[in-house]
Amino acid sequence: MAHFTNKIVVGVDVGITFTGVVVAHMIPNEEPEFQVIEDWPGKKALKVPSNISYPGREPRWGWCAYTYPPTYAWFKLLLDPTGRPTGPLPESFASLTYQHLLQEAPGKTAVDMVGDFLGRIRQFIQDYLTSLCLLTDKTLVQFRFSTPVAWEEEAQMAMRTAISQAGFHTIGLENVFLSSESDASARYVLEQKSDMIQVGEIFCICDIGGCTIDSACYRVVSKTPAWVLEPLSKSSGHIGGAIQADVLFLARMRARFPEVFAEEFDRNGGMAGQFMAKFTELKENFDGTGGIRRLVFNMNVASIPDDARCHYDAQTGEVLLSVGDMEGFFKPTIKSSIQIMGDQLNEVDMMCRKYGGHQVSHLFITGGFAASPYAQSVFKVFFEQRKVQLTVPDNPAIATAYGSALLGVFDVSYTMVNCARTYGIHHDDFMPFKKAGRERPIKEQLDRMHSKEKAPITWIFKKNNQYQAVEKYTWGFELLHQHNMPLIKPIAIYSVDDPSPSSKPELLDPVHSSLLDYVQLDLSQVDLTRHPHINDNEGHTFFQILVYVQATLCLKKGELSFQCLVGEINCGSCKVYTVWA
């Protein structure tokens, strides 16, 4: 077994609009060191744009992608077909920035594009670690990714495929772990604000990302020797985040200064230019007070419409933005955030009134949008009415990446966790033991088969039921095998968004159910003659095989594993990925 002298944990927050990376370096008997990567190709910043372009054989990514249009953006959303925005896309934003939003590049799938982008991130991280002389043959490297809480199983699997496709198995001996964005943000808050949160108190996290807003509530069960949390509500997600401010700003500019703005914006460097950098700075400092805000932006005055000249200072060459303009850029995201946070607080408060205990005492907001003084002032007024203390941690934009790295250094334990879906298995001839755990006579099984009665779906883990962080299940099944039929039996794994679904596959709602995968039960290594068998009237021989199914649900990792045993023989196994609890 390899002996490692140091460990590196890399927290990667692949956002829809921006990506952040934090590196934790651990040496035994020393305090871990955390480093936020800020020196990206093309620009120094906390995060790099989640963009990619394909000018040739080698893709361009991040800030450099802007110089090779068309640039593809928001493609991470394509991994989740059920979570794409249903409203019209901001065409003016796409055309102004020369970006293809929510589009696949020619010859590329969404998984390919995310994989290509992550492949460049991986190479950049490897070069970064090498430059610091942190990689040796005694280094254990672990990568921690986070995904939105609103993602379905298909999106979770697609993200894992993209991570693998990006080559995250080529840097030393590494492990790849996933967590929800809410859990990662919560870990960052616990590290920064541990003195504020006491045992028994309930806190809510709201992570306002570029295109998504995630929220979750937790009760603190213990702080020492390690954090133990109890999730109190299903994490909820919403499409629509901080990028709306940029979209609305550029739409306003395009409406006021139609053609002249587009031409000058392009010459100014577009999204990577100084104009957008200055707007970002103005946006981050806006507090809702004061008068006109000014942005240097030279335009041909003769080309500016008469009714728009009051919004431009020709003498100084500056665009003029009123307080009302600025508030308008912020309001949609603030409204969405308050709605989702309010729903979370209502759910938890109702639970507390029903069962007793504390109500929510703290609300922590993370994500770059949380740093806005104006957003904070509006949030504060709303949540003071709810008697909840609002807190924004330091550097909220990097909370998810930093929290992901922290989970690999100082993990958090969870008590009972609510399951977000119902999971079960099925094969037409796969009957579970009776409740007493007794086997049926083989004649009874044969009569059932001849009557064309099919075995029901066996639902193993139920939606809204509480389970341990790692929950195990074992039960016996009877499989009736005909001698001249294939020895490999596909056992279907179903997921349903229903706490009490039908046990018949044909009656499942196709909108709210999915077939995740199959356990390929292989009987080729089984001595069938040692199992009960019977001949029917047509001379066919049937064997009754006793199969024990072991299932392990790990809601913290978002994994559900199956193993099928016949005696001591492992006849099949499979792992699927669940939605976050």
Residues in Cβ contact with 92 at an 8 Å cutoff, skipping those fewer than 6 apart = 250, 251, 254
pLDDT in tens, 302-314: 899 999 999 999 9
User: What confidence score (pLDDT) does residue 1 get?
Assistant: 42
pLDDT in tens, 434-465: 876 677 888 888 888 888 889 999 999 999 89
Specify if 61 maps to a domain: yes
Residues of the chain whose pLDDT is less than 70? Answer: 1-4, 83-92, 170-174, 234-240, 354-357, 436-437, 581
User: What's the CATH number where 112 sits?
Assistant: 3.30.420.40
Specify if 390 maps to a domain: no
Q: How far is CA 171 from CA 91, 124, 130, 324, in A?
A: 40, 12, 10, 50
Which candidate, 161, 150, 184, places its Cα nearest to that of 20?
184
Which candidate, 289, 295, 283, places its Cα nearest to that of 320?
295
Specify if 261 maps to a domain: no
User: What confidence score (pLDDT) does residue 151 get?
Assistant: 83
User: What confidence score (pLDDT) does residue 239 get?
Assistant: 61
Specify if 372 maps to a domain: no
User: What confidence score (pLDDT) does residue 240 get?
Assistant: 64
Pairing outcome for strands 212-222 and 228-231: antiparallel
User: What confidence score (pLDDT) does residue 220 get?
Assistant: 92
- Name residue 459's beta-bridge partners: 424
Which DSSP string do the residues of 486-508 spell out, in sequence order? Answer: -SEEEEEEEEES-SS--SSGGGS
At 332, which amino acid appears? P
Write down the residue that tokens 């409740």 correspond to: 435
Specify if 344 maps to a domain: no
Give the residue numbers spanning the domain of 446: 417-577
**The domain boundary residue, chosen from 182, 213, 233:** 182
Specify if 359 maps to a domain: no
Strand ranges, E, within 112-259? 139-147, 173-180, 202-208, 212-222, 228-231, 236-239
Which candidate, 22, 45, 46, 44, places its Cα nearest to that of 35?
22
Specify if 20 maps to a domain: yes
User: What confidence score (pLDDT) does residue 499 get?
Assistant: 94
Specify if 379 maps to a domain: no
At 106, which amino acid appears? P
